[in-house]
Structure 1
Amino acid sequence: MLDVRRLRLLRELSHRGTIAAVAEALSFTPSAVSQQLSVLEREAGVALLERSGRRVALTPAGQRLVCRTEDVLERLELAAAELAEARHGPSGPLRIGAFPSATRAILPAALTVLDARYPGLEPLVSETDPARVADALRAGDLDVALLHEYDFVPAPTEPGLAVEPLCAEPMYLASAAPARTTGTGLSVLAGWSAAPWITATPGTLCHTMTVRACQAAGFTPHVRHRVDDFTTVLALVAAGQGVALVPRLGLVDVPAAVSLTRLPVRRRTTIAYRRGAGRHPAITAVAEALRGAVPAELAGGS
Structure 2
Amino acid sequence: MLDVRRLRLLRELSLRGTIAAVADALAFTPSAVSQQLSALEREAGVALLERTGRRVVLTPAGRNLVRHAEVVLERLEQASAELVDARRGLAGPLRIGTFPTAARAIVPTALTTLAVHHPGLEPMVSEIDPAGVANALRAGELDVALVHDYDFVPSPAEPGLATEPLCTESLSLAAPSAGAFAGTPAGACGTAEGAAVSHWRDAPWITATPGTLCHAMTLRACQAAGFTPRTRHQVDEFATVLALVAAGQGVALVPELGVGKPVPGVTLTRLPIHRRTRIAFRRGAAGHPAVAAITTALRAAVPPELRIPS
TM over 0.5: yes
Matched, 1:246 2:254: yes
Match of 2:201 in 1: 193
Q: Helix, strand or coil for the counterpart of 2:253?
A: strand
Q: CA 1:301–1:149 in structure 2 vs 1: closer, same or farther (change >3 Å)?
A: farther
Of the three residues 261, 272, 282, the one matched with 1:274 is 282
Distance (whole Å) between structure 2 residues aligned to residue 128 and residue 238 of structure 1: 28
Matched, 1:221 2:229: yes
Of the three residues 203, 208, 225, the one matched with 2:216 is 208
Does the aligned pair in 2 maintain the 1:270–1:301 contact within 8 Å? no
Does the aligned pair in 1 maintain the 2:188–2:195 contact within 8 Å? no
Match of 1:77 in 2: 77
Does the aligned pair in 2 maintain the 1:90–1:285 contact within 8 Å? no
Match of 1:257 in 2: 265
Which aligned runs of 4 or more in structure 1 are off by greater than 4 angstroms? 181-184
Match of 2:183 in 1: none
* Partner AA of 2:120 in structure 1: G
Q: RMSD between aligned alpha carbons?
A: 1.6
Match of 1:59 in 2: 59
Distance (whole Å) between structure 2 residues aligned to residue 177 and residue 220 of structure 1: 23
Provide structure 2 residue ranges, at least 5 long, that are not aligned to the other structure: 179-186
Q: CA 1:301–1:207 in structure 2 vs 1: closer, same or farther (change >3 Å)?
A: farther
Distance (whole Å) between structure 2 residues aligned to residue 23 and residue 301 of structure 1: 42
Does the aligned pair in 2 maintain the 1:187–1:217 contact within 8 Å? no
CA deviation after TM superposition for structure 1 residue 85, in Å: 0.7
Distance (whole Å) between structure 2 residues aligned to residue 106 and residue 25 of structure 1: 28
CA deviation after TM superposition for structure 1 residue 273, in Å: 0.5
Does the aligned pair in 2 maintain the 1:171–1:266 contact within 8 Å? yes
Q: CA 1:44–1:301 in structure 2 vs 1: closer, same or farther (change >3 Å)?
A: farther
Normalising by structure 2, we get a TM-score of 0.94
Does the aligned pair in 2 maintain the 1:269–1:301 contact within 8 Å? no
Q: Helix, strand or coil for the counterpart of 1:33?
A: helix
Q: Helix, strand or coil for the counterpart of 2:200?
A: coil
Match of 1:152 in 2: 152
Matched, 1:112 2:120: no
Does the aligned pair in 1 maintain the 2:173–2:195 contact within 8 Å? no
CA deviation after TM superposition for structure 1 residue 20, in Å: 0.8
Match of 1:168 in 2: 168
- Work out the percentage of aligned pairs sharing the same amino acid: 69
CA deviation after TM superposition for structure 1 residue 58, in Å: 0.4
CA deviation after TM superposition for structure 1 residue 122, in Å: 0.8
Does the aligned pair in 1 maintain the 2:205–2:251 contact within 8 Å? yes
Distance (whole Å) between structure 1 residues aligned to residue 238 and residue 33 of structure 2: 40
**What are the within-5 Å matches in structure 2 for residues 11-30 of structure 1?**
11-30=11-30
- 1:2-57 CA deviation, whole Å, 9 max, x = no partner? 11111110000000001111111111111111111111111111111111111111
Q: Helix, strand or coil for the counterpart of 1:242?
A: coil
Distance (whole Å) between structure 2 residues aligned to residue 53 and residue 174 of structure 1: 52
Q: Helix, strand or coil for the counterpart of 1:278?
A: coil
* Partner AA of 1:226 in structure 2: Q
